[in-house]
Structure 1
Amino acid sequence: MTSSAPPMSSKVVLVTGASSGIGEATGRYLAAIGHTVVLGARRTDRIGLLAQEIREAGGKAFHWHLDVTDLESVRSFAASAYDQCGRIDVLINNAGVMPLSLMEDLRIDEWDRMIDVNLRGVLYGIAAVMPIMRKQGVGHIVNVASVSAHRVDPTAAVYSATKFAVRALSEGLRQESKDVRVTVVSPGFTRSELFDGIGVAPLKTAVRAMMDQASIPASAVAEAIGYAIGQPENVDVGEVIVRATAQG
């Protein structure tokens, strides 16, 4: 992907959940416009291939194994990126899961998984990079939420709860931070593997049908992230909602 608007400066950008969907698209786009991307995910074969493709296209990319539910894994990811690149300018907390179901189904393991990845993973990411960004005196944390952080629908109660929480902690961090910018990006229906995690077959079918009618490519979200991190250091893009025109 190319862009007619280059970044104001090349930055070192960490991307979690970079093996597919929004994370993959973001890594590709940011590298294409001149940033150095550090890709993290559990599927190291996929992020390894992505990093190779980015380098072959002339970009700068590194990759490391990352499990956002494991604090030591997140700390190791950030430390490796810092050792390799000498700084961390941006963290994109993108990793997420969305196994939708009715509350009465009591799919408690799935509830726990959403809390661990969608919320705890974001907190772990913040904890891993904040000391480095404070030391630098500058930094930017981008937390990927969802339109479900603004509304609650049947089957999405727990997912929405985690995303509402991401918005809340992002706002708190923004108010506390004078040298670290904080942005929330809330995508609508986006074509990705996120919906593959729905374990209720009829629900998965229904969601896919809705996505076919009103969805956006992951690249649209990637470009919104690129816009936010490309602003001058004294400009904080607090939140961006990106969704299909046809989405209700």
Structure 2
Amino acid sequence: MTTDVPGTATEPVHPSDRIDTSVPHPARRYNYWLGGKDNFQADRESGDALAERFPTIRISALENRRFLQRAVGHLARSAGIRQFLDIGTGIPTADNTHEVAQAIDPTARVVYVDNDPIVLAHARALLTSSAQGATAYIDADLRDPDRILGHPDLRRTLDLSQPVALMLVAVLHFVPDGDDPYGVVTRLLDALPSGSYLAASHATYDYLPPQLAEEARGAARGGGPHGVINLRGLDEFSRFFDGLEMVEPGIRSVAEWRAEGEPQPRPSVVEVSMYGGVARKP
């Protein structure tokens, strides 16, 4: 499989057969920006090339990670959510979804989904659940929601009759318009009961210089090369939350969303160029 985001219907016999270290993968590139060691030359070259165009992209990656942790903390602590479906997991770092949730309630249950076999190998080795809770790891692509929802490991781990937090953090911008990202999110949310939540973040062109913003729009319209980031504006990102009840403070820069307890001063919205939001399914 050579897709950019978290299997397809035509997978090799073993996931490890899909590892191609000569081609950059978003999860490994993101790991490089976060200062991790689980990346290869192609990932570093791709990461450096993007950093030349967007010099604050490492700040954006770090702030996005902090947004995930705060969103999970809010959902577990204030909304009482005990089930999480985290698609586009990425290579494990500190304070992953289940670690944040299970620190609040050890019975929390988390299903991680990614399409990079290296991510899944790390996840299975490192993301160990509490004894009272559970974690599972699914090799699947965000663009195949029926595979995710019908996977036996998901069905064994999550009770879809009870609320679930769907975590789509820094993954939707790898889905071009031609792959119907809005339809994918709708299909996933339709399978979850009332009281479930969507937590999502997305890179944006809203704060870019006009020339770079137009290039980004062109890449999104054309699908772009492997691993392209399909930037979207506020109106486009807001569409993912249609029909849902936004949690305060609504859609904000990931650097600002419930960030009162983060180190000050905060990075600017221009430096981060990424929106985040959390909303409840009525």
Give the structure-1-normalised TM-score: 0.51
| 3-state DSSP of counterpart to 1:55 | coil
**Number of residues of Structure 1 aligned to a counterpart in Structure 2:** 170
Q: CA deviation at 1:85?
A: 2.0
Matched, 1:127 2:187: yes
Q: CA deviation at 1:11?
A: 1.4
Structure 1 residues 60 and 83, CA gap change in structure 2 (3 angstroms): closer
CA shift digits 1:113-140 (9 cap, x unpaired): 64169x734531331232332xxx3211
What is residue 151 of structure 1 aligned with on the other side?
207
What is residue 66 of structure 1 aligned with on the other side?
140
Structure 1 residues 143 and 238, CA gap change in structure 2 (3 angstroms): same
| 3-state DSSP of counterpart to 2:135 | strand
Which letter maps to 2:195? Answer: V
Matched, 1:240 2:252: yes
Which letter maps to 1:84? Answer: T
Counterpart-to-counterpart distance in 2, 1:161 and 1:151 = 11
CA shift digits 1:134-179 (9 cap, x unpaired): xxx3211122223x164344043335654546423134x1xx34xx
Which letter maps to 1:66? Answer: A
| 3-state DSSP of counterpart to 1:61 | strand
Counterpart-to-counterpart distance in 1, 2:94 and 2:216 = 22
Counterpart-to-counterpart distance in 2, 1:122 and 1:22 = 29
What is residue 139 of structure 1 aligned with on the other side?
196
Structure 1 residues 57 and 80, CA gap change in structure 2 (3 angstroms): closer
| 3-state DSSP of counterpart to 2:197 | strand
- Give RMSD over aligned pairs: 4.1
What is residue 11 of structure 1 aligned with on the other side?
82
| Percent pairwise identity | 10
User: Contact 1:114–1:162 at 8 Å: present in 2 too?
Assistant: no
Structure 1 residues 85 and 25, CA gap change in structure 2 (3 angstroms): closer
Q: CA deviation at 1:84?
A: 2.7
Question: How do residues 1-248 of structure 1 correspond to structure 2 at under 5 angstroms?
Answer: 7-8=77-78, 9-20=80-91, 25-34=96-105, 35-55=108-128, 60-77=134-151, 80-87=153-160, 88-94=163-169, 96=171, 114-115=175-176, 120-121=180-181, 123-133=183-193, 137-146=194-203, 148=204, 150-153=206-209, 154=212, 155-157=215-217, 158=220, 159=229, 161-162=231-232, 164=234, 166-171=236-241, 173=242, 176-177=243-244, 181-182=245-246, 237-243=249-255, 245=267, 248=271
What is residue 223 of structure 1 aligned with on the other side?
none
Counterpart-to-counterpart distance in 2, 1:237 and 1:30 = 21
Counterpart-to-counterpart distance in 1, 2:180 and 2:92 = 20
Q: CA deviation at 1:68?
A: 1.4
User: Contact 1:15–1:27 at 8 Å: present in 2 too?
Assistant: no
Bigger helix fraction: 1
Which letter maps to 1:126? Answer: T
Counterpart-to-counterpart distance in 2, 1:166 and 1:20 = 27
Structure 1 residues 50 and 142, CA gap change in structure 2 (3 angstroms): same
Q: CA deviation at 1:238?
A: 2.4
CA shift digits 1:73-99 (9 cap, x unpaired): 34435x75244321351101235377x
Structure 1 residues 51 and 36, CA gap change in structure 2 (3 angstroms): farther
Which letter maps to 1:139? Answer: S
Which letter maps to 1:125? Answer: V
User: Contact 1:10–1:36 at 8 Å: present in 2 too?
Assistant: no
Counterpart-to-counterpart distance in 2, 1:141 and 1:122 = 13
Which letter maps to 1:43? Answer: D
User: Contact 1:97–1:114 at 8 Å: present in 2 too?
Assistant: yes
Structure 1 residues 122 and 55, CA gap change in structure 2 (3 angstroms): farther
